[in-house]
């Protein structure tokens, strides 16, 4: 049989793909080549050193501090027992003509009101005479307790109070509605004294007030002090002070 050239080319075109497919099916599968280890001279990243990376924690504080801490702490100044002579906390000193209230627990005969005589002495039943002038309330209380313990009772309970102040006084003169003698009850300032005078008369000079203390003349400006100025002028009154308000 005689084949034409076109027929031969067609047969070749069909047979070539089939042969390639057959060869691919029969060929053994390719194997993966294992990775080779890195060269010996190749640098590796070293793992972090946990000892080097760890941040040391501060030592725990204990109840006692070292010497450096003690030096750093400021030392509080010691408190002094000094008391200002014009301090309102200064205890009251009993004087002549004062009236005292004395209470002795469970003994009505020893309790009552007692006058301090002009000579500064006072008298109580079963105790007799004792000097009260110049003593504080606490000092007189201790004196009475000692005298009672030595005579009539053991460990007595005693309470002493000033019922009426007659020994300490101040005076106001001049342009006030109330003038004269006033009791100096405990700690009083010049402004406190004016609370007893009932107010001022008209046209008085409140800037020229003065306190006569013995032979010393102490100026007092009521206008300034009442407005919070020159508060050092508002001093504590003393027994016998005389306040003059010019009219």
For the chain, give the mean pLDDT: 76
Span 23-50, pLDDT tens digits = 445 445 555 455 555 555 544 444 455 4
C-alpha torsion sign, points 166, 117, 124, 150: positive
Longest dimension (CA), the chain: 177
Residue (of 211, 174, 168) closest to 187 by Cα position:
168
Higher pLDDT, 169 or 185: 169
Span 188-200, pLDDT tens digits = 899 999 998 889 9
Judged against a pLDDT cut of 50, whether residue 124 lies above it is answered with yes
| Residue 22 DSSP symbol | H
Note the pLDDT of residue 86. Answer: 45
For the chain, the C-alpha Rg in angstroms (whole number) is: 55
Judged against a pLDDT cut of 60, whether residue 21 lies above it is answered with no
- What the chain holds in terms of domains, given with CATH numbers, is 99-164 (3.30.1950.10), 169-245 (3.10.560.10)
Note the pLDDT of residue 184. Answer: 87
Composition of the chain by helix, strand, coil, percent to 5: 25, 20, 55
- Contact between 201 and 177 under an 8 Å Cβ cutoff? The reply is yes
Proportion of the chain above pLDDT 90, given as a percent: 48
Secondary structure (3-state) at 152: coil
Quick one: pLDDT band at residue 81, thresholds 50, 70, 90? Answer: very low
Note the pLDDT of residue 224. Answer: 94
Secondary structure (3-state) at 154: coil
Note the pLDDT of residue 24. Answer: 47
Note the pLDDT of residue 236. Answer: 93
């Amino acid at each position: 049989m005689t084949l034409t050239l076109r027929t031969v080319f067609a047969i070749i075109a069909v047979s070539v793909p089939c042969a390639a497919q057959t060869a691919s099916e029969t060929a053994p599968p390719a194997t993966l080549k294992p990775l080779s280890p890195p060269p010996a001279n190749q640098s590796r990243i070293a793992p972090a050193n946990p000892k080097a990376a760890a941040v040391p924690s501060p030592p725990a504080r204990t109840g006692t501090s070292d010497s450096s801490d003690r030096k750093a702490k400021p030392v509080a100044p010691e408190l002094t027992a000094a008391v200002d002579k014009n301090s309102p906390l200064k205890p009251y000193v009993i004087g002549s003509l004062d009236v005292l209230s004395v209470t002795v627990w469970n003994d009505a005969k020893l309790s009552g009101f007692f006058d301090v005589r002009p000579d500064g002495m006072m008298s109580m039943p079963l105790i007799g005479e004792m000097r009260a002038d110049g003593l504080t309330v606490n000092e007189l209380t201790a004196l009475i307790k000692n005298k009672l313990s030595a005579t009539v009772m053991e460990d007595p309970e005693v309470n002493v109070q000033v019922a009426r102040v007659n020994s300490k006084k101040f005076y106001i003169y001049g342009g006030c509605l109330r003038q004269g003698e006033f009791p100096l009850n405990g700690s009083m300032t010049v402004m406190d004294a004016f609370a007893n005078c009932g107010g001022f008369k008209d046209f008085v000079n409140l800037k020229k007030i003065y306190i006569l203390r013995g032979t010393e003349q102490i100026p007092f400006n009521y206008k300034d002090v009442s407005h919070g100025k020159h508060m050092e002028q508002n001093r504590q009154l003393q027994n016998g002070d005389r306040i003059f308000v010019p009219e």
